[in-house]
Structures are given as structure tokens and as C-alpha cells.
Amino acid sequence: MQPTRSPLLRLAAALLCCGALTTPAQAADPATRALRGVRVYPAPDAKPIDNGVVLVREGRIVDVVSRDAAAGVPPLAPACDGGVLVAGFQNSHVHLNGAAFAHAQTAKAATLEAGLTALLTRYGFTTAFDIASDRDNTLALRTRVNRGELKGPRLLTAGLPLFPHGGLPAYIDHFDPAFLAKLPQPDSVAAALAAVRQNLDAGAEATKLFLVTPQRNQPPKRIAADIAAAAVTQTHRRGRLVFAHPTDLDGVRAALNAGVDILAHPPLGVPGPWPADLMDALRAQGVHMVPTLKLLRYELAKEKVPAPAAEAVLQDSVREFGRFAAAGGQVLFGTDVDYMEDSDPTEEYELLAQAGLRPLQILAALTTTPAERWNEGSRRGRLRAGMDADIVVLNADPAESVRHFADVKCTLRGGRVIFSR
């Protein structure tokens, strides 16, 4: 005589017989899709998962699991399977002033998309912070991306930056005079406050201050301390952050005194050692720094500095930046592309490694650090349940070589492929 089975066991047997049991991910929602990797880095401070799978539903990450746990879940993007998975990258220093983005409101979508691909998405950037551009044109570009008219990263902007009165820098002389005429050069606190309000009201997410600007055949111009402080205070009242272009050590001091949040560059080219008390003050005040080390080599070449001398200057700045980072300075990855014509970030990754940053520290500068700086840590910067499905698929492991950060197979924003090699 067979023993009597419980109703629960009889139901399980019936389901098995009919092939109705599914994996937990499938049972939860048939819309769940899987992106499979040979390795997954959930975050810079988390243990990597070999043969891991990121489960995605409706633009959000459902879970990160082993391949066995996701058996049978349909693929999210078959062409993107098989790489190394990391969270979407943020480039915290870009510009969108190039010819590819001209007349963004009416330009062909294909032209704009090609520009964004060449500049950003082919290198894994799912978020880009433009920190000086023709604001209204950039906002038009962002609107078209957000509407889905073209594939592109999430675009944030500082819009029109503020300059010293009568102090546009020599290196932007070649820009369209109509654009140069728009750039605020406040001569008073009242004028600075008006410029900040107008910029933020129009849709900018930050303020950018060119605290020190080189001039042709005369000393640099500097934003007055009271004007800089007022612009920062006004921006902070609106819950926004302030970038500063410091140029030299006095510019760094001016940024600290004004309460700036992010240095768009270190004092590149300033001979070391950079003053220890100044670097300590930046760390104590929580000021983040965007290294842009490749920019220095670019500028030295443009000025036709002989190669041996240029390399010595570069390595001096690489070493000093490395000291800042090693002592706990906060680093945001950024490249100054679309001011620099070469958009490939490979050299920047190599220079950061020369400065002493390990691969996972570079990953943090691309992911978790910007997410935390912009109070978005609950939505971005990691591969875990509940996060936006902003994902980069690399062809090789960046732990083996930092050059692999630039070897992108696919870029996904909100679970949608915006670049595929």
C-alpha cells in the first residue's frame, strides 16, 4: 500500500509532470530579462561574481545572481552577453559645443546620435555632466534624448559658466562670437546672483565658475572673492553643486574660500609639491577633484613644448594628484572631451594607474563616487536590486589592465542598449 501524500506534495508532483515549474525570476514576472556575464562587478567594494547574471525588468535591476539561478530566463540583449559587467559610467567633465551638436533642436537625430556615440556611449558613459556649453542648445539635445528620438546618455549640465569681468580666457577665442556674447562676466554680486538664477531656472543642474582665466599678453583675470562666494551660496540654496576651474594654486585657495564642491581640474602643470596644507584643506572640506590628466599632455603638445620637457611636467602633476588621492581625496572621473578633440579615455585610465589608483578605485570614480556626490546612491552606481539598469559590458576584465575600461562591448541605459559594438 502506497503512503498517502499531502496535498502540497501532490500539487508539486503535478507541476513537475507538466513542466510548469519555473525559476524564481520567471515566476516573479515573465517580463524579467537576463544579461549574462563572464564576471560581474556589482560595485567597487563588493566581491565579483564569476558567471553572473543581472536580471532586469522595466528598466530596473531585479537581482544579480549566478548563471544557474537564471537558467531559462530570456536574454535582455543577446549580442551583449558574455562580457564583464559593471555599473554605468559617469563622465563628470564634458562639453557639448562641437559641430556634431550644433542646432540640436532641429538637427537630424542621426547626426546628434553619432556625436554622442563618438564622444560618450561607445566608452560606457551612461551619464555625462556638461560643465560649460551653450545652455539652451544642450537642453534641446537633452530633451530629444529623453524623448527617445535618439540614443544617448543621461545629460546633466552646468549651462553657461561664469567668468571674471572682462576675462574670457584666451583659449576660447575661436568660439562663435554669438556664443561668447552669452557668457556671463559679472562685475558685481547682484549680477552674479542674476546669472546663477537665470541658469538654474532654465534647467541647469550646477554652476561653473572659471575662477582664474589666462589672458593673452597680460596677467590672468580672477573672479572677485565676494562674487564667487555669492554665486556658490545662491547655488547651494537651490540644492545644487558648484564646479570651479582653478588654473593655479591661488585659484584652488579661492575655490576653498568660496565653498566650491568640485574642482573641474587639479592645478595641472603647477610644479610640485603642491602645498600639503592646501591638499589637506580640500580633503577636510570634502571637495572632489576631476583629474583630467590627459588634458595636460594635450595642452603641452598644443603649445609645442618639447616632448621630454612636456613629459616631465605631466609626470609631476600625475605624481601630485596621486598624493592627493592616496591621502583620501575624493576623485570623480572626467576627461574634458569636446574641448579635447580626442575622446578616447584609455590614456586617462593609464595615467590614473600611474598616479597609483588601483582598478577598483578607478571604477569607484566612474560609478559609486559620482552617485554619492549627487545623492543618487539609491539609484545609480551599483549593480543591485532596485537600481536603474545602467550597465556597461566590457570585453575584458579591467582588473587585469585599466585599458579594458575603454574596451566597451555594450552600453545600456535603463535596460536599453544605447551602444553595441
* Measured torsion, CA atoms of residues 356, 362, 365, 367, in degrees rounded to the nearest 10: -160
List, in order, residues 6 or more apart from 183 with CB less than 8 Å away: 160, 161, 163, 168
What backbone torsions phi and psi does residue 210 show, to the nearest 5 degrees? -85, 90
Residues 256 and 241 in one domain: yes
Residues 351 and 395 in one domain: no
Other beta carbons within 10 angstroms of residue 82's beta carbon come to: 14
* CATH number of the domain that residue 282 is part of: 3.20.20.140
Grid coordinates 574642482 are at which residue? 263
pLDDT given for residue 207 in this prediction = 98
Residues 297 and 396 in one domain: no
Q: Is residue 4 part of a domain?
A: no
Joined grid coordinates for residue 118: 563618438
- Whether 160 has a pLDDT exceeding 90, the answer reads yes
Taking the alpha carbons at both ends of the chain, their separation in whole angstroms is: 64
Instruction: Work out the average pLDDT over 81-97.
Output: 98
Q: Is residue 288 part of a domain?
A: yes
Instruction: Work out the average pLDDT over 125-141.
Output: 98
Residue 417 DSSP class: E
CA distance 125 to 264: 18
Instruction: Work out the average pLDDT over 48-59.
Output: 97
Listed residue (35, 31, 17, 50) closest to 399, CA to CA: 50
Confidence band, pLDDT 50/70/90 cuts, at residue 4: very low
- Beta pairing, strands 408-413 & 391-394: antiparallel
Domain that holds residue 55: 9-88+381-421
**What average pLDDT does the structure give for the chain?**
93
Residues 415 and 273 in one domain: no
pLDDT given for residue 26 in this prediction = 42
Q: What is the crossing angle of helices 346-354 and 307-326, to 10°?
A: 70
Confidence band, pLDDT 50/70/90 cuts, at residue 30: confident
Confidence band, pLDDT 50/70/90 cuts, at residue 12: very low
Residues 280 and 321 in one domain: yes
Q: Is residue 3 part of a domain?
A: no
Report yes or no: 89 and 125 within 8 Å, Cβ to Cβ.
yes
CA distance 162 to 177: 16
Other beta carbons within 10 angstroms of residue 55's beta carbon come to: 26
Residues 327 and 247 in one domain: yes
Residues 421 and 286 in one domain: no
List, in order, residues 6 or more apart from 96 with CB less than 8 Å away: 130, 133, 137, 138, 141, 155, 157, 338
- Whether 52 has a pLDDT exceeding 70, the answer reads yes
Residues 358 and 421 in one domain: no
Q: Is residue 170 part of a domain?
A: yes
Confidence band, pLDDT 50/70/90 cuts, at residue 28: low
Give the three-state DSSP class for 55: strand
Q: Is residue 184 part of a domain?
A: yes
Joined grid coordinates for residue 409: 562591448
Give the three-state DSSP class for 175: coil
> Concatenated DSSP letters for 366-389?
HTHHHHHHTT-TTTSSS-STTSB-
Q: Is residue 1 part of a domain?
A: no
pLDDT given for residue 21 in this prediction = 33
Residues 76 and 103 in one domain: no
Q: Is residue 176 part of a domain?
A: yes
Residues 93 and 81 in one domain: no
Over residues 259-314, the pLDDT tens digits come to 999 999 999 999 999 999 999 999 999 999 999 999 999 999 999 999 999 999 99
* CATH number of the domain that residue 27 is part of: 2.30.40.10
- Whether 19 has a pLDDT exceeding 80, the answer reads no
Joined grid coordinates for residue 103: 542646432
Confidence band, pLDDT 50/70/90 cuts, at residue 242: very high
Confidence band, pLDDT 50/70/90 cuts, at residue 16: very low
Residue 391 DSSP class: E
What backbone torsions phi and psi does residue 133 show, to the nearest 5 degrees? -165, 180
Count of domains in the chain?
2
Which helix (H) or strand (E) segment is 345 a member of?
Answer: none
pLDDT given for residue 2 in this prediction = 41
CA distance 218 to 121: 40
Which helix (H) or strand (E) segment is 190 a member of?
Answer: helix 189-202
Confidence band, pLDDT 50/70/90 cuts, at residue 23: very low
- Whether 17 has a pLDDT exceeding 50, the answer reads no
pLDDT given for residue 329 in this prediction = 98
Which helix (H) or strand (E) segment is 177 a member of?
Answer: helix 177-182
Confidence band, pLDDT 50/70/90 cuts, at residue 349: very high
- Whether 222 has a pLDDT exceeding 90, the answer reads yes
pLDDT given for residue 55 in this prediction = 98
Confidence band, pLDDT 50/70/90 cuts, at residue 396: very high
Residues 151 and 31 in one domain: no
CA distance 261 to 253: 13
Report yes or no: 167 and 187 within 8 Å, Cβ to Cβ.
no
Residues 155 and 199 in one domain: yes
- Whether 8 has a pLDDT exceeding 60, the answer reads no
- 93: exposed, middle or buried (C-beta count within 10 Å: 0-12, 13-18, 19+)? buried
Give the three-state DSSP class for 223: coil
Q: Could you tell me which residue, 20 or 187, shows the higher pLDDT?
A: 187
Q: Which residues of 147-182 are buried (b: 16+ CB within 10 A; e: fewer)?
A: eeebbbbbbbbbbbbbbbbebbbeebeeeeeeeeee
Q: Is the dihedral of CA 152, 156, 159, 165 positive or negative?
A: negative
Q: Could you tell me which residue, 10 or 305, shows the higher pLDDT?
A: 305
Q: Is residue 155 part of a domain?
A: yes
CA distance 299 to 257: 28
